């Protein structure tokens, strides 16, 4: 997709589709007024007829308007002008991107500078437009014999925005485009079935990054190598599967070698049956999404490299398949983690923390400035937040606050949960240093408390994306979250 900034009278812009906003109750935006005047009050007539009200996210198409060079006009409902904050701008931009992605249009121009959020600048609006266009143009086709028709869009332009320079707008478009591409990478990996997206497949995808970006190097650790490192916890998860576990280590160099990196650690359970503590059959097919944390790490590493961020980043993915089998770990088994801590496995379906704890210990060797792990970890997070927010838990208040702020800015929201010492006792074991579950209450918090035992030396945060990583029902599919939050966090960091 090609993104540009265009100046001049919007009624003279040649494009397959021109997008203009209309406020609630049919009040025309400045851009809509220009089109209305040039076309002999065509928009006013549509509104007077009651066919368009301007409600937030409402869209309607008009064709063949005299006095206007564009082939189509997409009227975009902007809602109440007094309530145009970033969240509502995000909703209307998403609606516009969804509408234009379905058109037989190769070009679109967004004349929406008057729809700028009162709490954001023009560059942010530009980035949201390009990000949403990329996101909405995604089509899954890999395992379909009859491929869906790809989106027709090839070029997107926006009007200049008062108060924001052209270079800033172009930078915003570029940033949003790369974030959108990263979101689509995460969605694609998440949507692949478990018989395609295996730990080995994930490893190969990470190696492809290194072939496409000279700034990335990828190393894959085998089960034998992990065994020599003492990763008994991670290996206990893959023990029942014919698929070999992989520890995937990606390093991005955008700063001098002596600059300490920022670390991302992703849970990559490519399919989760629950193991011996097997899950109910209903909706078990969705457990192919249990590697969405890993997908977000791979996607972000690619996005960081494309943007050439001036920092160093290390991405570690703990990839395994959790299956029942004659060699599978049993409830009550005790394993030794890479840290030396012993773990009593009371429930083999609490496996994500078992692969993450060894990966978190491994990442210490890079002496990271911060460590963020991303995991579809607990059903309790779904019960708490639904699909709206990612759970944020951290041993560092400033890091938690920064992630919260980055999520708000990127409209990829999270919310913090407490991780008080009171919860740690729920993980006590009579037979090992720690149990892998803490009972039926506070499941998201006790899972984070478990991980905190392996990050005591680190500035660390845990993102539980069990509710936000995919949608169920008719819209079933990976969402690509929390790629936007993570990209915003890394964009703000310094070498």
Q: Which residues are catalytic?
A: 279, 353
Please give the Cα distance from 279 to 406 (Å, whole number).
Answer: 35
Q: Are 158 and 109 in contact (CB under 8 A)?
A: yes
Please give the Cα distance from 139 to 118 (Å, whole number).
Answer: 33
367: exposed, middle or buried (Cβ count in 10 Å: 0-12, 13-18, 19+): exposed
Residue appearing with tokens 């143009």:
137
Please give the Cα distance from 154 to 166 (Å, whole number).
Answer: 21
Q: In DSSP terms, which residues pair with 155 in a beta bridge?
A: 2, 107
**Residues with Cβ < 8 Å from 227, sequence gap 6 or more?**
235
**CA–CA distances in Å: residue 261 to residues 212, 248, 367, 371, 461:** 21, 16, 7, 9, 15
Residue whose C-alpha is closest to residue 322's, from 356, 280, 358, 276 = 276
Q: Are 273 and 324 in contact (CB under 8 A)?
A: yes
Residue whose C-alpha is closest to residue 238's, from 134, 316, 322 = 322
Q: Are 159 and 29 in contact (CB under 8 A)?
A: no
């Amino acid at each position: 997709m090609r993104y540009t900034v265009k100046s001049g009278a919007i009624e003279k812009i040649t494009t397959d589709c021109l997008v203009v906003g209309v406020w609630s109750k049919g009040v025309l935006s400045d851009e809509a007024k220009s089109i209305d005047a040039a076309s002999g009050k065509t928009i006013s007539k549509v509104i007077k007829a009651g066919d368009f009200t301007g409600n937030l996210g409402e869209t309607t198409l008009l064709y063949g308007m005299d006095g206007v060079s564009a082939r189509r006009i997409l009227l975009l409902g902007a809602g109440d002008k007094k309530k145009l904050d970033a969240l509502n701008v995000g909703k209307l931009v998403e609606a516009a991107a969804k509408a234009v992605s379905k058109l037989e249009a190769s070009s679109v121009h967004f004349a929406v500078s008057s729809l700028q959020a009162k709490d954001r600048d023009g560059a942010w609006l530009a980035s949201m437009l390009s990000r949403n266009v990329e996101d909405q143009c995604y089509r899954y086709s890999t395992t379909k014999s009859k491929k869906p028709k790809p989106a027709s869009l090839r070029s997107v332009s926006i009007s200049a925005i008062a108060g924001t320079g052209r270079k800033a707008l172009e930078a915003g478009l570029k940033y949003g485009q790369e974030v959108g591409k990263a979101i689509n990478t995460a969605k694609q990996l998440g949507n692949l079935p478990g018989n395609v997206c295996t730990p080995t497949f994930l490893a190969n995808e990470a190696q492809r990054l290194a072939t496409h970006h000279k700034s990335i190097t990828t190393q894959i650790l085998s089960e034998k190598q992990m065994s020599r490192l003492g990763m008994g916890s991670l290996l206990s998860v893959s023990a029942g599967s014919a698929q070999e576990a992989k520890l995937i280590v990606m390093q991005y160099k955008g700063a001098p070698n002596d600059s300490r990196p920022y670390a991302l650690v992703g849970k990559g359970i490519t399919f989760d049956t629950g193991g011996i503590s097997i899950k109910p059959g209903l909706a078990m097919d969705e457990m192919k999404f249990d590697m969405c944390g890993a997908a977000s790490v791979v996607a972000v590493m690619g996005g960081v490299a494309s943007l050439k961020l001036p920092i160093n980043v290390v991405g570690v993915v703990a990839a395994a398949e959790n299956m029942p089998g004659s060699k599978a770990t049993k409830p009550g088994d005790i394993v030794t983690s890479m840290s030396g801590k012993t773990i009593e496995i009371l429930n083999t379906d609490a496996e994500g923390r078992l692969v993450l704890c060894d990966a978190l210990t491994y990442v210490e060797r890079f002496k990271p400035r911060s460590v963020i792990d991303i995991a579809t970890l607990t059903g309790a997070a779904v019960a708490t937040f639904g699909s709206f927010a990612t759970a944020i838990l951290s041993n560092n208040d400033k890091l938690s606050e920064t992630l919260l702020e980055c999520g708000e800015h990127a409209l990829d929201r999270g919310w913090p949960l407490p991780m008080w010492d009171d919860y740690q006792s729920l993980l006590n074991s009579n037979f090992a240093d720690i149990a892998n579950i803490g009972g039926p209450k506070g499941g998201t918090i006790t899972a984070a408390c478990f991980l905190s035992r392996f990050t005591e030396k680190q500035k660390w945060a845990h993102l539980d994306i069990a509710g936000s990583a995919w949608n169920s029902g008719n819209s079933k599919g990976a969402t690509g979250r929390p790629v936007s939050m993570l990209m915003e966090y890394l964009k703000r960091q310094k070498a």
